[in-house]
Amino acid sequence: MTRNAIFCLFCLLQGCVHLQSVSVTPIPMSGGKVVEASAESGMLFMGITGNAEFVDTLVRDLRDQCKGGTVTGILTKYEAKAWPLFVKYTVTARGDCNL
């Protein structure tokens, strides 16, 4: 391969990761069982999405891990991994299950 082709290939394959936001709900004094769930969007062309339904699975996963209890002290992270023309979003939630 020529140097120009290798350089172009290198530029197309590199990407970035951004932590968009972090939020925390009040954390209780007595921590319960730790529950964690995450959800990812597919590869989105230029980051354009018509909905955020992929996050609904995150809520269900947290609820399923804490049947009969309450999830408190929730820490959520919203990340974006970007490549030229494509973006992939990840939402992660971690909390305490108090039965």
- Other beta carbons less than 10 A from residue 89's beta carbon: 20
DSSP 12: H
Radius of gyration (C-alpha) of the chain in whole angstroms? 18
Q: What is the DSSP string of 22-77?
A: EEEPPPPSS--EEEEEEEE---EETT--S--GGGHHHHHHHHHHTTTSEEEEEEEE
Residues 9-64: tens digit of each pLDDT: 666 666 676 666 667 777 666 667 899 999 998 887 876 776 778 888 998 999 99
Tens digits of residue pLDDT in 56-74: 899 899 999 999 988 888 8
